[in-house]
Chains A and B, each alone.
Chain A
Amino acid sequence: MDWHILWQYRAALWDGLVTTVWLSALAIVGSTAVGVLVGCLGATPSFYLRRLTAAYTELLRNLPLLVKVFFFYFVLSMPTIPAALLGLVLHQSAYIADVTGAGIRSVARGQLDAGLALGHGYWQVFRYVILPQAVRIVIPPMTTQYVAVIKNSSIVALIAVQDLTYQTQQINVETFRGFEAATAATVLYVIVALGIIGSMTLLQRRVGVR
């Protein structure tokens, strides 16, 4: 074992880490926006919206992420970063839509009826009664989704995005120090994931989930 090799390649590792972090951050923001919207639409009384969102979720959840990324990059000929980002956003948004829908459905149906009986509109009840409760319910499973984004982002190395996986592969093939490179990747991915878990724990405390 020669750990010095990691110090020699510190600039490459840092660049890779930065790329992984900002790509994951954008993918988390994008997939949350799309996923929550789809999840909310899926919880509406409209039959067509429910069917449409179910189709979206099923289609994107059942396609491997690699297939999506390759499709955008090689078939649709998109540039590297947009192809990678779109793949990550669409992939995770399907799961987040599912989590959001489950969160909304777990708020007792009686609360909606009570709100409607008091003369509020559907969207009013949704916004002020259902959503605040659903948010608390979905934070823990959402944490899992965000960690999944970070791990899944390693796929983009396959289309030459120079993320953490790409850089550690590069150390491996240039120096043949595969164990050291894999260890560096493990530690750095775990640190990023722990960062996400920590932030989500703080968020949970703020919104009063225990």
Chain B
Amino acid sequence: MGATRALARMAMALALAGVAMASAELAQADQTLDTVLKRGKLIAGITYDSPPSGYLDAQGNVLGYCADVARYIAKRLGVGLEFVQITASSRVPLLRTGRIDAEIAITTPNKVRNEVVDFTFTYISDNGVMLVREGQSTKVEDYVSPSKVIGSTQGNGFVAGWKNLHADAQFKLYPEESSVVVALKKGDVDAVLTNEFSAHRFAQSGGLAYTAAWTTSPDSIMIRQDESKWRNWLNWALQRMWLEGTLQKLYKKWYGVDVNFRMGDAGEIQSRVMEIGQTDDPWKDLPPGFFDALLSDKSYTLQ
């Protein structure tokens, strides 16, 4: 029977694809720090469409808070830097197949995700708000109803949060944030779950308003699992950035507000974190003028 043969062939093809995918995942764990140093380049996954966290300007320069954090990290490692664009659906495959060393973007850790990847300490805290059409109510409670259609992007951490609070909520999810905003404007959705930074930007573009925050959501740098050397180093780097005050200044530069979270495990910086270790702790001095350039509007020239 043709169909049986076709099924058998399909099963074989899938099995081969599975083997290929398994071997595409990095064979040796805990190698990333060494790999980056040997390669002389950090490959950072970054969003190209989420201002002010990570985005492109008209000239194709990579801008944003996350991009500047990546520039700082690469300089401290003493290596070059390459950006790779990530999206909500491509970020994990890119990471797991070793095409990026870390995702330096706006990903919120949760338990199910943590089964697959690892996260550093929180380095951004987003306020969750609802973007609405101008003239609509800007009270969050007015959108708590199964008759309201809530729009967002697929993979947005606020969707899970809203679902936890309101199990009967009705969602309409799009792959791109720009599509959700158009859907909101044409009335296909009643409100859009997004972060305050994005909402503020969309509201400035006209015709839209947003509610007060209904939640906050921590974002972390995402790395492969079983990479404790790499995760340790990134956590040290974030804490050192914090102690220097660089992270807070970058936060203010891009988000326009003071940091609203505390760095470190349970909000505590590890003691002696500024002591540079003999092994697995590269920490280069920054070239003169680096700080000023990083905090200026032209930080993209640092690449």
Complex Cα–Cα for A176 and B160 (A): 14
Q: What number of residue pairs across chains A and B have CB atoms under 8 A from each other? A: 72
Residues of chain A in range 175-207 having any CB-CB distance to chain B below 8 Å = 175-179, 183, 186-187, 190, 194, 197-198, 201
Contact B116 A186 (CB under 8 A): no
When the two chains form their complex, are residues A158 and B179 in contact, meaning their CB atoms are under 8 A apart?
yes
Looking at B27-35, B180-188, B270-278, the stretch in contact with chain A turns out to be B180-188
The count of chain B contact residues (Cβ–Cβ below 8 Å) is: 34
The answer to whether B179 touches A173, judged by C-beta atoms less than 8 angstroms apart, is no
- The distance in angstroms between the C-alpha atoms of A201 and B174, with both chains bound, is 37
> Complex: how many Å from CA A41 to CA B190?
45
> Does more than half of chain A's interface fall in helix, strand or loop, or is it mixed?
helix
The A-contacting residues of B in range 93-134, CB under 8 angstroms, are 93, 96, 112-113, 115-117
Contact A2 B88 (CB under 8 A): no
Q: Which of B14, B21, B22, B186 is close to A74, meaning CB atoms less than 8 Å apart?
A: B186
Whether, in the assembled complex, B89 has its beta carbon less than 8 Å from a beta carbon of chain A, the answer is yes
Interface of B: prevailing SS: helix
When C-beta atoms are compared, the residue in chain A nearest to B189 turns out to be: A160
B213 at the A/B interface (Cβ < 8 Å)? no
Q: Are A170 and B14 in contact (CB under 8 A)?
A: no
Contacts A173-B88, A178-B93, A194-B3 known; list 11 others, CB within 8 Å. Answer: A1-B22, A158-B176, A160-B151, A175-B115, A176-B92, A178-B92, A179-B18, A183-B17, A183-B18, A194-B6, A198-B3
- Interface set of B (CB-CB < 8 Å, partner A): 2-3, 6-7, 10, 14, 17-18, 21-22, 88-89, 92-93, 96, 112-113, 115-117, 151, 154-155, 160, 172-176, 179, 182-183, 186, 188
